[in-house]
Amino acid sequence: MRFTKMHGCGNDYVYVNCFEEKISNPEELAKKISDRHFGIGSDGLILILPPENKNHADAFMQLYNADGSKGSMCGNGIRCVAKYIYDHGIINGNTARIDTPSGVKEIALEIENHKVINASVDMGIAQSASEVPEKILINNMNLKFIGVDVGNDHAVYFLEDNPEIQNINSWPASEFNAIGPAFENHSRFSRRVNSEFIEIISRTEINMRVYERGSGETLACGTGATASAFAGLLAGKLDRNVLVHLRGGDLKIKIDKDNRCFMTGPAVEVFEGVIF
């Protein structure tokens, strides 16, 4: 099986061109190749599939998390899919339409020397999924979060509102990953949840750490950055244009007056290979 390793701000996936390859058991494949010691190493597997309707989209993106579970949308992943289909000649324009389980997303491509280097994704209209904020008890800590739906579910924790986890962004990875499952698997979330921990720098700039459903801590999460910017807007903490600093790089989020969100960031191909 031929594959391509790509990342957006360090949020890395193994991509398989299913215009040419056939995958029989993607759930098990995702678990094996995501292993950073015995596999290729990644946050999961993304299949680039032919669209059901070529007039509707250029490709279909199906995400599998590192634990083999299906994902509905990935902001960093979809930028890389758009890069792949342009760089490999599946499309030739500077706009890509990628279908996902959360619907079709349109991506504007920034091209340099015939390769995509950045992409801007129309993430759709964000929606509040909870009260602003909602209280929750996790590991005997009384916390507050804002729930946001941007094609998948997010719980956004502003550290200024949660003194019990005020320093969570400085915790070592082992400590962060040890507590992460309590957030992801809380009974409040029937489908599990992605959790973002936000330090506000100004009304237009934040630091973010993320624990992703099915993958654990990742260096970046595009839908999480979008959800966090929208949650900050709902809470009156942030403006409509926000620079999000993640552990793997920066993303720009713009939210228009109708709450349609646009995410801009890099897409990088690392290497290609064959796995048997």
Determine the pLDDT at residue 182. Answer: 98
CATH architecture for the domain at 127-258: Roll (3.10)
CA atoms within 13 A on the CB side of 109: 27
- Residues with Cβ within 8 Å of 89's Cβ and at least 6 positions away in sequence, in order, are none
**Active-site annotation holds for 221:** yes
Determine the pLDDT at residue 97. Answer: 98
165-186: average pLDDT: 96
- Residues with Cβ within 8 Å of 106's Cβ and at least 6 positions away in sequence, in order, are 95, 96, 97, 121, 122
Model confidence band, residue 20 (pLDDT cutoffs 50, 70, 90)? very high
Q: Rounded to 10 degrees, what is the CA torsion of 155, 70, 247, 159?
A: 10
Determine the pLDDT at residue 130. Answer: 78
Q: What is the 3-state secondary structure (H, E, C) of 212-265?
A: ECCCEEECCCHHHHHHHHHHHHHCCCCCCEEEEEECCEEEEEEECCCCEEEEEE
Determine the pLDDT at residue 91. Answer: 97
pLDDT tens digits, one per residue of 47-96: 999 999 999 999 999 999 999 999 999 999 999 999 999 999 999 999 99
Sign of CA dihedral 247, 13, 101, 108: positive
pLDDT tens digits, one per residue of 212-265: 999 999 999 999 999 999 999 999 999 999 999 999 999 999 999 999 999 999
**Strand-strand pairing, 59-65 and 70-71:** antiparallel
Hey, how many other C-beta atoms are within 10 angstroms of the C-beta on 5? 19
CA atoms within 13 A on the CB side of 105: 34
Closest CA to 223 of 265, 257, 190, 192: 265
Determine the pLDDT at residue 228. Answer: 98
Determine the pLDDT at residue 132. Answer: 84
| 2-120+266-274 to CATH, choices 3.10.310.10, 3.30.70.360, 2.60.120.10, 1.10.10.10 | 3.10.310.10
For the entire predicted model, the pTM comes to 0.94
Q: Rounded to 10 degrees, what is the CA torsion of 29, 38, 222, 213?
A: 70
Annotated active-site residue in 9, 80, 221, 261: 221
**Active-site annotation holds for 261:** no
CATH 3.10.310.10 segments of the chain: 2-120+266-274, 127-258
pLDDT of 1 > 90? The answer is yes
pLDDT tens digits, one per residue of 107-141: 999 999 999 999 999 999 999 987 789 999 999 99
1-27: average pLDDT: 97
178-202: average pLDDT: 97
Tally the residues of the chain.
Answer: 276
